[in-house]
Amino acid sequence: MRKNTALASLKAGKVIVGPAIYYGSPDLAETVAHMGFDFVWLDWQHGQFTEHTLNDALGRFLAVDSTPLVRVKSHEPGTINRVLDMGAMGLVAPMVDNAEQARAVTRPVYYPPLGTRSGGGVRLALIGGSGTPEYYAKANDEMLLVLMVETEQAIGQVESIVKVPGVHVVLVGPGDLMIDVKAHGHDEAHHEQLVQKVLQSCQRAGIAAGYVCPTLESAEKRRAEGFRFFCYMSDTAILASGLREARAQSKGW
């Protein structure tokens, strides 16, 4: 059975880092897979992947150690089951607002008795080592489950969310959280209080707190505070930044 190296590092108390891929390109995903990140986040919520291109992209990870994670577009069990059957070694679930939703997301990630995941998937025999039966027997131990909290309501329920069995990371989505905070008439200081509440709740529960970091400054700040899961940078941001720099360098030629 293929080992989830990112999950193993997390369980050992280490920090894990990976970029988000939004462009629906299996070739791009394959290139990033070989760069040595702990994980690569393939985004099916806001990214451009179709089911076909996502399936193709996940196949490119069979030959590398980097863990493929997929942020799904919904909590629907069939969608979650399908992504894992394609070969994802972990799941990022957006907009989890309470423990009931956390449990609903968790169930299709794990086979019985821990969950309700259905057996199947043509790629699983390639991940299972000696075949599909080994995958069924061992996959529960190799799945990395990340739940995103992105609203004041969610963070108000975070103490119960972190206690749901099978959850490894509770991840702050700072952009959506800021939208929600401002919609309720609050400010950046309140946003920061909510972020710290997530960190403290995760630490008490013995799981990792995560943060989406678009800059090195934000990543270093959160790492010093004790966050251990980092979605750091993205293909879209890096491409735009690099091209702006190239344009600035060449504009006067």
Residues 6+ apart with CB under 8 A from 112: none
Going by pLDDT thresholds of 50, 70 and 90, the confidence category of residue 129 is: confident
Burial tier of 5 (Cβ tally within 10 Å: 0-12, 13-18, 19+): middle
- What percent of the chain has a predicted confidence (pLDDT) above 90? 99
Annotated active-site residue 75? The verdict is no
Element (H, E) at 197: helix 188-205
- Least confident stretch, 10-19, 97-106, 123-132: 123-132
| C-alpha dihedral (196, 72, 102, 214), degrees to nearest 10 | 0
What CATH number corresponds to the domain at position 156? 3.20.20.60
Strand intervals (E) in 46-100: 67-71, 90-93
User: One of 46, 75, 184, 186 is an active-site residue; which one?
Assistant: 46
What pLDDT, on a 0 to 100 scale, did the predictor assign at position 44? Answer: 98
What pLDDT, on a 0 to 100 scale, did the predictor assign at position 130? Answer: 85
Mean model confidence pLDDT for the chain: 97
Written as one letter, the residue type at 16 is I
Tally of structural domains, the chain: 1
> Which tokens sit at 127?
């991940």
Q: Is 0.75 topped by the overall pTM?
A: yes
Is the pLDDT at 253 greater than 90, yes or no?
yes
What pLDDT, on a 0 to 100 scale, did the predictor assign at position 144? Answer: 98
What pLDDT, on a 0 to 100 scale, did the predictor assign at position 34? Answer: 98
Residues 193-214 pLDDT 10s: 999 999 999 999 999 999 999 9
Residues 6+ apart with CB under 8 A from 175: 212
Going by pLDDT thresholds of 50, 70 and 90, the confidence category of residue 89 is: very high
Residue span of the structural domain in which 72 resides: 5-250
What pLDDT, on a 0 to 100 scale, did the predictor assign at position 43? Answer: 98
What pLDDT, on a 0 to 100 scale, did the predictor assign at position 83? Answer: 98
- What percent of the chain has a predicted confidence (pLDDT) above 70? 100
CA 200 to chain centre: 20
Is the pLDDT at 127 greater than 90, yes or no?
yes
Is the pLDDT at 131 greater than 90, yes or no?
no
Going by pLDDT thresholds of 50, 70 and 90, the confidence category of residue 153 is: very high
